[in-house]
Amino acid sequence: MRDLEALIDGAKGGNVRAAGRLMTLVEAGGTTAEKLVGLLPERTATQAKVVGVTGLPGAGKSQIIDQLIEFYKSRASRVGVVAVDPSSPIHGGAILGDRIRWMRHANSDSVMIRSIASRGGLGGLAIAVDGVVNVLAACGCEIILVETLGMGQVGCDIAGVGDVVVNVTAPGLGDEIQMMKSGLMDAVDVMVLNKVDLPGYEETLASLRYEMEHRHLPLVETCAVSGLGIGELVEQIDGVLNTSAKACGWAERKAWLVVERTLALLRGHLAERVKSVRLDRSVDELAHDLARRLVGRVEH
């Protein structure tokens, strides 16, 4: 316990290695992670604001985040970044490529970047995201950007973590109206049409503009490669942060989304429990062992 407290104190004091060690412990899970999360201050007790960035694969989420990092750095803000990458269902490993994409920020004292494997998370996030966000908040990050897996009609977990949810799309990714179906869009605060220099931009914009007006959501046009529209995107994010708590129905919606995220965490812990069962026995033996473990877990 004292070792954990010493690590937390070190991370709060700006020790990057201590912060990295804390995030590694959170990702590892188990009783140590549970104790650590209990020692960390609640993120709501800090100055940190969480901006979730989600959307279809290929929409340019990482490029958008790269530009947002640069923008918030210019405000003299300490920026935390969490990127969730898909992992193998067999060995749980992942290619954590976003650190490569954001290399220009890697040596900045005001930026902390953490890539983590999804490890079975089905809603766009990994089980450990909540704990990693809390670590970054405890380290003094004022803005924490969370990039989800590439998601489409589902993947609302980010809304249970983020204060603002930004959904990114681009021309040529498919039927935009299909993507606008209830589910993910019920959790979105700001819509971004990225890659406005691509063919098909005007048609995509027309479809999105109609849908966003119907939903009363802001639509921002960007070209993340050049930085076009990033300033307007930050203005929209700031607007949500400043007014969302007072918006009609926002508190109720947020409460339901937090419940959904909690259920997702429980499913994730259950999946980890299932994976711990030995696989060198018959199907019947595995089923009985799993049943005993689950019953014992519920009773305790």
Total Cβ atoms within 10 A of residue 259: 11
Tens digits of per-residue pLDDT, 258-270? Answer: 666 666 666 666 6
pLDDT surpassing 60 at residue 121: no
Task: With beta carbons less than 8 A apart as the criterion, state whether 260 and 160 touch.
Answer: yes
Q: Name the residue among 253, 137, 127, 131 with its Cα closest to residue 189.
A: 253
Report the largest interatomic distance among the alpha carbons of the chain, rounded to a whole angstrom.
60
Whether residues 231 and 107 fall in one domain:
yes
* pLDDT, position 113: 92
Tokens of 61: 């989420």
The torsion angle over the Cα atoms of residues 279, 283, 289 and 295, rounded to 10 degrees, is: 120
Helices (H), the chain: 2-12, 16-28, 30-39, 61-74, 98-101, 129-138, 176-179, 201-215, 230-243, 250-275, 283-299
Whether residues 152 and 239 fall in one domain:
yes
Total Cβ atoms within 10 A of residue 175: 8
Whether residues 94 and 34 fall in one domain:
no
Whether residues 3 and 66 fall in one domain:
no
Whether residues 33 and 124 fall in one domain:
no
Q: Which residue has the higher pLDDT, 89 or 27?
A: 27
Tokens of 234: 């930050």
Tens digits of per-residue pLDDT, 19-31? Answer: 999 999 988 877 8
Q: How many domains does the chain have?
A: 3
Most confident of 18-22, 36-40, 187-191: 18-22
Residue 26 is part of which domain span? 1-40
Residues paired with residue 166 on neighbouring β-strands, in sequence order: 53, 190
Kindly indicate the confidence band of residue 248, based on its pLDDT and cuts at 50, 70 and 90: very low
Whether residues 245 and 259 fall in one domain:
no
Whether residues 21 and 58 fall in one domain:
no
Whether residues 48 and 36 fall in one domain:
no
Kindly indicate the confidence band of residue 40, based on its pLDDT and cuts at 50, 70 and 90: confident
Whether residues 6 and 129 fall in one domain:
no
Whether residues 50 and 187 fall in one domain:
yes
Report the CATH number that the domain containing residue 138 is assigned in CATH: 3.40.50.300
- Percent of the chain, pLDDT > 70? 68
Task: With beta carbons less than 8 A apart as the criterion, state whether 84 and 147 touch.
Answer: yes
Whether residues 206 and 290 fall in one domain:
no
Tens digits of per-residue pLDDT, 127-181? Answer: 788 889 999 999 999 999 999 876 654 456 777 788 899 999 999 876 555 555 5
Kindly indicate the confidence band of residue 93, based on its pLDDT and cuts at 50, 70 and 90: very low
Average pLDDT over residues 233-248: 79
Whether residues 131 and 227 fall in one domain:
yes
